[in-house]
A and B are shown apart, each in its own frame.
Chain A
Amino acid sequence: MGGLEEEKHARYIVSVEKKKDDFESLVIEHLRMNGAYWGLTTLDLLNKIGAIDADAVVSWVMECQDKDCGGFAGNLGHDPHLLYTISAVQVLALLDRLDVLDIEKVSDYVAGLQNEDGSFSGDMWGEIDTRFSYCAICCLSLLGRLSKINVEKAVNYIVSCKNLDGGFGSIPGGESHAGQIFCCVGALAITGSLHHVDRDLLGWWLCERQCKDGGLNGRPEKLADVCYSWWVLSSLIMIDRVHWIDKEKLTRFILNCQDKDNGGISDRPDNAVDVFHTYFGVAGLSLMEYPGLKTIDPAYALPVDVVNRIFFTK
């Protein structure tokens, strides 16, 4: 069956960034900041980030910052939002260019989105979701400014979204979903609050996500999808239970989702590829220590050497 097509995936990502003449690219232009994070992180995991013009990326990222509030938009001419602020910070971290940031300004923007009950809104319009708790906490931690928020309340809100199966939803009472679980467990890990997680119970729920085809789903009775290779796997690693899934079968599932001719990875075998699933497939393989890939940090979703550079170099 063969292995990972590193060269082809790297070329696929670079080509997506350059070619923008189809309608599919138009409809995601507003989230290009996320796309940059997915693409660049994948390239770094493949040890190919040197191919990128870092200066051009950095100046574009900074053009996307709202000069008044300090938050980042998905692309030029868009409004700021937490989702793009975390991606912007992650991209700058990848390129070791966090020095270009006015850290107080960005962190004030993020901290300002915390609500009374500890939850976070995505932006001034007030949508609340545990995804935003993760974005805020991960971002502030990378910037060394977690003290700007009420961490205890933030943790309490996340815990209020914990369900009886040990999982987490987007809001209190929301169905446990692997994506939300990653966000909540990641946020708890970063704030040193993993004692709120019942690791055995959640670990069991997570390992039950593995389907007969070896892939992982996000909720009971749903289909496997490559992106859950990240959400489920990183959660299992953070709670130290990854040995409860069959890694070999999952690896084969991810490799089967590759487009071996043109590069890229899709959500399931024989479907169309995209940068999103390419990132999650490669990141999942990295978590399972697939040879040739850089190691990725399960909580910060950045290569470990990038995280170490931020926290251990002074």
Chain B
Amino acid sequence: MPSSDDEVDRIPLSARPEWSDVRPVPQDDGPNPVAPIAYRDDFRETMDYFRAVYLADERSRRALDLTTEAIGMNPGNYTVWHFRRVVLESLNADLHEERDFLDRITMRNAKNYQIWHHRRWLAEKLGPEVANKELEFSKNILDLDAKNYHAWSHRQWVLQSLGGWENELGYCCMLLEDDIFNNSAWNQRYFVITRSPLLGGLQAMRDSEVGYTTEAILANPLNESPWRYLRGLYKGDTSQLISDNRVSELCLKVLKTSNSCQFALSLLLDLLCYGFQPSEELRAVVEALRNSEQDTVSSNLAATVCLILEIMDPMRSNYWAWRRNNLPSQVC
């Protein structure tokens, strides 16, 4: 949206000498307009002149400047962006200047697909020399909205295509310190530990990551992300998951201190389904959570956990009932 300053300063294109040779082209709504559109005058005028240069395929400096104005008024117009790229290439324009322009525009339109795609197009052309600047820029956007999906996609692309992995795990730590509930940051953490060429991969990182995640969970047990992350660390290796004492002890600790933690219960349920043998202490803690009004006494701990969850998480009671009816035969 143009600011009030822009409106005060803007000289109509029809009054600008450098545009005097151009006949603006009005919007063509077709022979039978489904719905004729009435435009605000300055926007209408800008788009009329844009259409003129677009149809004439005029790849000039003034055409470039015109796309700058059009983008300023409506950064979602993808045709304007396409034409801008065509003009930039034809003029062999300074792409570093283009980057500066893009930086300014993105701050105001951080969820715009066209802008992020243009950014990638630019970065591809500029190459690895801009890797750090691109990481810095996406960090600036994430400072304003740490879950901006476009910024994260862009950041992942930069890392994989241009490099810059050195500080990424540290960056994830920083974001999680700011907001331990940031699912995007947890996702990025997983991305780094599994794909960074500088770390050893999931196996090598698992131990320290289990420690990190456990701390995060203990600080805020009602946080969905680290519970999922913890499962992810044992990707496909359920025997490791059930034999690592830290996991079951984590469930125990959380259940002892926060008696309505469905995430701890659901992880415990998964452990039991994978064949985990619970300690007496764990059994006792779970039993204590059972609603004393519940008549149903179940023969195994897993079924008890499901019954508790059906009451504790009623919105998903069908899911927990389904789990209870589909327990493996050998489960405790």
Contact = CB atoms under 8 A, between A and B. Distances in A.
Interface stretch (B92-100, B151-159, B295-303): B151-159
Interface string A21-58: 10101111111000000000000000000000101110
Contacts of B152: 174-175
Contact of A170 (B30, B149, B228): B149
B248 to A, nearest CB: 20
A8 interface: no
Contact of B85 (A125, A243, A249): A125
A164 B231 contact: yes
Interface in B284-317: 314-316
Nearest to B314: A246
A77 B29 CA distance: 9
Interface stretch (B12-20, B38-46, B58-66, B164-172): B38-46
Interface of B is mostly: helix
Contact of B191 (A63, A173, A244): A173
Contacts of B43: 23, 26
A177 B82 contact: no
B27 A76 contact: yes
Given A56-B32, A59-B32, A246-B315, A27 B76 contact: yes
A207 B314 CA distance: 12
Contact of B147 (A17, A171, A222): A222
Interface stretch (B131-139, B182-190, B210-218): B182-190
A265 interface: no
Given A174-B153, A175-B152, A244-B316, A30 B76 contact: yes
A208 B316 contact: yes
A125 B147 contact: no
A311 interface: no
Given A77-B27, A78-B79, A164 B319 contact: no
Interface residues of A, number: 57
A76 B54 CA distance: 13
A65 B121 CA distance: 26
B37 A26 contact: yes
A219 B147 contact: yes
Given A20-B36, A174-B156, A243 B318 contact: yes
A7 interface: no
Interface string A208-233: 10100010000111100000000000
Contacts of B30: 59-60, 63, 76
The residue in B113, B187, B318 that gathers the most chain A C-beta atoms within 10 A of its C-beta is B187
B40 A59 contact: no
B101 interface: no
Interface in B102-140: 113, 117, 120-121
A79 B78 contact: yes
The residue in B34, B82, B191 that gathers the most chain A C-beta atoms within 10 A of its C-beta is B34
Given A76-B29, A171-B156, 10 more contacts: A23-B43, A27-B76, A29-B37, A60-B32, A76-B27, A76-B28, A127-B117, A173-B195, A204-B319, A219-B184
10 contacts: A20-B37, A27-B76, A77-B54, A79-B79, A125-B85, A125-B117, A169-B153, A171-B153, A207-B319, A244-B316
Interface of A: 17-21, 23, 25-31, 53, 55-57, 59-60, 63, 73-74, 76-79, 81, 123, 125-127, 163-165, 169-171, 173-177, 203-204, 207-208, 210, 214, 219-222, 243-246, 249
Across the A-B interface, give the 5 residue pairs with the lowest CB-CB distance, nearest first. Answer: A20-B37, A175-B187, A164-B232, A244-B319, A21-B38
